[in-house]
């Protein structure tokens, strides 16, 4: 297990404890806000007794929303990770490269750079001084780009765990309509994390797809 995976595993071990505390607080906050919401709705009903049907419809709508968000809190460990993982899986299916870890991304960078260098050598391009310099620069650029992508993926994974686990209490704000925006922003953050993972997976897939063509481009460069 490499350093990246060890750190990610440490976060995986710590996250359940954060989530347990955060979810407990979220439930308490949610129920408190629901009580306030019910009291507020009751006051409105007392002021608008001449429109009981309309108030009942509004009450049912609010009850359905409240039940949905309560279900979200209770099923947090399944629903919220599913938002991130589903977007990541879209990228994996589109590229056909399978599940990737930061170490896998870096390893693929080494593999692609090696393939480009090897192909250039077999074509005789790298035997010339100028060709050797160009091939080395291309190989090094590919390697460092994939290292950068691997580090970025690592930061997204770790940062995502901190944001989702540490911010789980924000789900509690969904208990009332006037504070629900905080929960919506939390869910938006989960989607944003998933989108970042999607794009990183696509970038790696594009790199693997285009790598064979980079050798042809190298052969077109005058070797001097």
* Structure-token pair, residue 5: 């995976």
Full domain range(s) for residue 139? 3-220
Rama region for 128: left / alpha / beta (φ>0; ψ in -120 to 50; rest): beta
Structure confidence at residue 154 as a pLDDT band (50, 70, 90): very high
pLDDT value at residue 175: 92
204: which residues sit within 8 A by CB, 6+ positions away? 95, 97, 100, 105, 108, 146, 149
pLDDT value at residue 215: 63
- For residue range 6-38, what is the model confidence (pLDDT) as tens digits? 888 888 888 888 889 999 999 999 999 999 988
Structure confidence at residue 131 as a pLDDT band (50, 70, 90): low
* Structure-token pair, residue 129: 């001084």
pLDDT value at residue 192: 94
Structure confidence at residue 219 as a pLDDT band (50, 70, 90): low
What is the total count of domains within the chain? Answer: 1
pLDDT value at residue 214: 66
pLDDT value at residue 72: 95
């Amino acid at each position: 297990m490499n350093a990246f995976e060890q750190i990610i595993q440490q976060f995986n071990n710590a996250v359940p404890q954060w989530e347990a505390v955060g979810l407990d607080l979220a439930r308490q906050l949610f129920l408190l806000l629901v009580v306030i919401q019910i009291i507020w709705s009751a006051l409105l009903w007392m002021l608008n007794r001449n429109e009981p049907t309309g108030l009942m419809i509004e009450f049912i709508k609010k009850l359905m929303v409240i039940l949905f968000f309560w279900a979200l809190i209770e099923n947090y460990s399944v629903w919220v990770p599913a938002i991130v993982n589903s977007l990541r899986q879209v990228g994996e299916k589109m590229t056909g490269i399978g599940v990737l870890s930061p170490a896998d991304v870096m390893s693929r960078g080494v593999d692609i750079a090696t393939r480009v260098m090897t192909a250039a050598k077999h074509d005789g391009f790298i035997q010339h001084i100028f060709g050797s310099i160009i091939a080395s620069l291309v190989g090094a650029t590919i390697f460092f780009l994939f290292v950068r992508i691997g580090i970025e993926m690592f930061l997204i994974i770790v940062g995502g765990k901190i944001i989702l686990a540490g911010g789980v209490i924000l789900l509690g704000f969904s208990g009332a309509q006037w504070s629900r925006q905080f929960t919506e922003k939390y869910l938006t953050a989960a989607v944003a994390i998933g989108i970042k993972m999607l794009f990183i997976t696509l970038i790696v897939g594009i790199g693997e797809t285009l790598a064979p063509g980079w050798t042809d481009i190298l052969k077109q460069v005058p070797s001097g």
